[in-house]
Chains A and B, each alone.
Chain A
């Protein structure tokens, strides 16, 4: 199946700093990727849709200036958490659409962000 990777797998940062998380489709091209946030013992919440070569589409309630998304190539989308605060600590998961698999979403392993 299609493989999606994320880097880093975990990161700890100080409050006020920015953190960049990468999402890569390793063996396919993905024009569309998604970013989710998962709180402990809760479901995945869609944050935004990342479209290659265009601006991301954010879900209601998600601050686009705080969560910057860049989808500069067909295999890479990045999520930058700007001026991170402890409440941004969470598990961030990306997924990518693989069109030859019937438009199935393949998920990355996630990135654990801890803001001190």
Chain B
């Protein structure tokens, strides 16, 4: 079974600051990697995903993530955050051909105007 750890529980930053959220997973085989966002009062939405190929993945709303296999990491980044990026961010993994997702604990991001 896979497990996912997110290092930051709560991140507070100002608008225009850069954001990086850590995500590490433990699993011996090939994995699919995901970042989801949950805005206040809304459902989970997919930000980006990595299955194979270029380890630098670009997603929606200016987010990107880099898969570093040697570090079992899939960190999420955004160069310049906006107030509207205030949300809960979840990293998730599954094994290929297994749709069941294992989620990290989530990181609350608060962007101050």
Could you tell me which A residues sit within 8 Å of B by CB distance?
4, 32, 34, 41-46, 49, 93, 95, 97, 103-105, 107-110
Contacts and interface: CB of A to CB of B under 8 A. Distances in A.
Contact of A97 (B46, B49, B99, B108): B99
A4 to B, nearest CB: 8
A68 to B, nearest CB: 20
A64 B32 CA distance: 28
18 contacts: A42-B106, A43-B90, A44-B90, A44-B103, A46-B100, A46-B101, A46-B102, A49-B100, A95-B44, A103-B99, A104-B46, A104-B49, A105-B99, A105-B101, A107-B43, A107-B45, A108-B43, A109-B42
A38 to B, nearest CB: 9
A109 B46 CA distance: 13
Contacts of A44: 44, 90, 101, 103
B95 interface: no
Contacts of A110: 43
Among all A-B residue pairs, the 10 with the closest Cβ atoms? A107-B44, A109-B43, A43-B103, A43-B105, A44-B103, A107-B43, A43-B106, A97-B99, A46-B100, A43-B104
Interface string B69-113: 000000000000000000000100000000111111110100000
Contacts of B106: 41-43
Nearest to B108: A41
A45 B103 CA distance: 7
Nearest to A60: B1
A42 B105 contact: yes
Contacts of A49: 99-100
B7 to A, nearest CB: 14
A109 B102 CA distance: 19
Contacts of A103: 99
Contacts of A45: 103
